[in-house]
Structure 1
């Protein structure tokens, strides 16, 4: 393994591009199942934690063993936050009565070992401990289909699919969580309890609000039943004792970078993030390892461009993909100008939530998913084809739609996925496959909710997409972003 001062080789030979993946030479389901189980067994890998660092080291070793030369670790400094102990008890007539807690609010404030005690209040008050409800924003599948570059839900893979299918996920409520934390902090509250309108068992110790903003108000998440109990206690003007013992430290976390040499020094980037909460969030790195194992064994002349593998840190420590942002800044003068296109993969093989969960859809096998893609026809077409071949989610390819305030995005937009900075920071042609089931952020085993055979089909299909993008002429990707399908905004990548 190389140090961070790696000088990247620039091979140039005549190219005779590969057109498809030989599935018989791709790693088998049995191998990928072992990898996936090992990842799920790791549990929470909070950014910068010892568990996260251990996984990064393991991935770097395995990437080298897969045949990727000159794998490098690149340090990214951060202020890590770690919760050590937390709890919630009612005071007064029910003194000492324990209240079930889902999890601490990541990056919230902290208490001493004895906690803080104050009156429960649904409104911000100095010295009080707030209790407020967090509702799940209501979207439907049709809201996402409206963003598709082509007709809505093209060739739907799921017979039970319907555009009015509800799409309500706890991670969609992060903005409301931030607003409540800011409101109670401004009032001088001693603490805050955020009540999520879901059963506690469905939340599975969720690692939520991982935006890396170190706040002063200690805060905890509870589920629906505990919330009802606390609201009743507030009406009775009872007090509560909130404990959240946590610490913060300046540490280095690391991106992993390696390049599979192709027939030119131009690059296609293959990226996912290493921090996560369980075996689904994020198993993109495991899929990319399998893809790298295949690509590294191709004759160099069959790979028209080199493939840069980037397994980045920082997804669980920022409002945006902070590890990817660090990579783009570090390499804006060398690797970024050589990049023709980029592909981010997240949460592969996800099954729909089990019966009884709020986001279960009867008759549907796989979790709702999509590829976000920049307005480049070659990118849109390659993603659509990959989704059709994989036969897991509907072949939904969506425009970037989230306004980005920095002004660096070619069209002023980005998307909600770790790969967004490829577009909104570097202006690169890019795509991002992602699913977001309700159990995505649960700190619990989720192996029974992952179809490894489906993950393998997706990995093979996206490997073929990499081969397709490696053969697209440079001017069709890094020239002016041309009008795709029904004509999104044009922009010129840097």
Structure 2
């Protein structure tokens, strides 16, 4: 009886796609994307270079707004699309200049920590103290001082991404390039968030975050990106400058430093752009990526979306059983987009809207595209005894593409099949990117990026994302994208969207349907 009741509940969601699917069969609609009808590598390269020309795009900046306008122009050239926007009012954080002297000697600064407290043009002066990793920042050791901290490197065992490792569903690595017993690591500038908060609470005057990478590779680095003001100024320096600071402290005598982080908060607006391609049913497949980023690889999902829209719009409407909505989302670099109490960015705002529409049959699924074709860079020792590490492009490998997929075996199998067909090497289909908690719905709360809020709102979601070491720095341009790999991934996920059109909603949703019922009955969601 329960199965019959569930079937009755699902039939209204499935039905809209069926007549269009029947007509599609009669029209011999494509079962797979014709690569000759899709963007070439040269076309993707042109788009990536046009994107790069806008430069770094913090949320609400002129460069960001211009990029969104450009995306709208590109999409407007595609027939049948309908446009709307979701605007947000924010106070944009603008850096007006940074500087540092240690013991009277100038030290090169790579970047301010975004959303730092402004010192004004005059800066602040205080004694330096180096607090090593693992040492808490407290009033006893930091009050009245400028704290020097070393950025940590995070490490994740590769085994986690395999089916036996806890998060994995399937792994596609035909060249056996991933060491099962090894791990992946990258520097974690997000740790500055905890450092600046602790420093402010301890009464420190400022924070200097020391990278293990050279100045040339981290200049302009942008993280964390909460969108909330810190109570102290903070700045990043490279490995050589970090050594310069620590050498000054090594003599054991007090060292005075002057730190300048001149910044301003400017009221402005930013928007999420929606471009909707009508299909045989009003029920939507939403394809999403964010538009604010510091490097081409950080937000190249919109480039794939342009070409996906161009391909899908070329098909008869009967070959699009469901509507496809392309969401170019803001607020990725301003996570507290609507205030201090909710951390979600524009993706979370959109996810809440889709959640409200889902049970009425308005939404089928969400596909989030991030960091496609991210070239692998290895962190190696610097030559000639220089301190720290440097990033060197691997000539043959891309970064592992992690693809969390919500709790549906048919959906995971669909993605697995297209990844293998298009030979998107070094790809892991995952259950999630956080440990399972069977007391919540969903069980895996983390999806690693923009896909997380859609998953937490219990929407069927496919969310490819890589973790390139080059991510936070604008010093890495289009050369950090492997264009053949990006094109293969673009073809694979266009095929995914094509197949989602006629797919029964019960198969798309899988266990999400039960989880939504459990949530309605009081089972807690993710914290």
Q: TM-score, normalised by structure 2?
A: 0.83
Map 1:312-323 onto structure 2 (within 5 A): 312-318=329-335, 321-323=344-346
Change (3 A) 1:41 1:260: same
Bigger mean CA deviation after superposition, 246-255 or 470-479: 470-479
Instruction: Provide the residue aligned with 2:471 in structure 1.
Output: 440
Give the superposition deviation at 1:423. Answer: 1.0
Change (3 A) 1:433 1:347: same
Contact residue 68 and residue 260 of structure 1 kept, 8 A: yes
Which of 343, 357, 364 in structure 2 is aligned with 1:340?
Answer: 364
Which of 114, 130, 138 in structure 1 is aligned with 2:122?
Answer: 114
Contact residue 220 and residue 474 of structure 2 kept, 8 A: yes
Change (3 A) 1:433 1:491: farther
Bigger mean CA deviation after superposition, 214-223 or 438-447: 438-447
Change (3 A) 1:443 1:66: same
Quote the Cα distance in structure 2 between the aligned partners of 1:114 and 1:25: 58
Bigger mean CA deviation after superposition, 34-43 or 382-391: 382-391
Contact residue 40 and residue 445 of structure 1 kept, 8 A: no
Q: Deviations over 1:201-221 (max 9, x none)?
A: 332431121122211200001
Instruction: Provide the residue aligned with 1:327 in structure 2.
Output: 350
User: Quick check: 1:25 aligned with 2:37?
Assistant: yes
Instruction: Provide the residue aligned with 2:20 in structure 1.
Output: 14
Contact residue 160 and residue 168 of structure 2 kept, 8 A: no
Q: Deviations over 1:270-289 (max 9, x none)?
A: 11000000111110000111
Quote the Cα distance in structure 1 between the aligned partners of 2:428 and 2:121: 50
User: Quick check: 1:452 aligned with 2:483?
Assistant: yes
Which of 392, 414, 423 in structure 2 is aligned with 1:382?
Answer: 414
User: Quick check: 1:167 aligned with 2:184?
Assistant: yes
Change (3 A) 1:453 1:479: closer
SS of the residue 1:265 aligns to:
strand
Contact residue 388 and residue 395 of structure 1 kept, 8 A: no
Alignment coverage as a number of residue pairs: 470
Which of 68, 86, 93 in structure 1 is aligned with 2:98?
Answer: 86
**Bigger Rg, structure 1 or 2:** 2
Which of 449, 453, 462 in structure 2 is aligned with 1:421?
Answer: 453
User: Quick check: 1:186 aligned with 2:185?
Assistant: no
Give the superposed CA RMSD: 2.7
Which of 144, 161, 164 in structure 2 is aligned with 1:127?
Answer: 144
User: Quick check: 1:213 aligned with 2:224?
Assistant: no
Change (3 A) 1:351 1:129: same
Instruction: Provide the residue aligned with 1:76 in structure 2.
Output: 88
Contact residue 214 and residue 390 of structure 2 kept, 8 A: no
Q: Deviations over 1:459-479 (max 9, x none)?
A: 111110111122221122346
Contact residue 289 and residue 368 of structure 2 kept, 8 A: yes
Instruction: Provide the residue aligned with 2:273 in structure 1.
Output: 256
* Runs of 4+ displaced beyond 6 Å: none
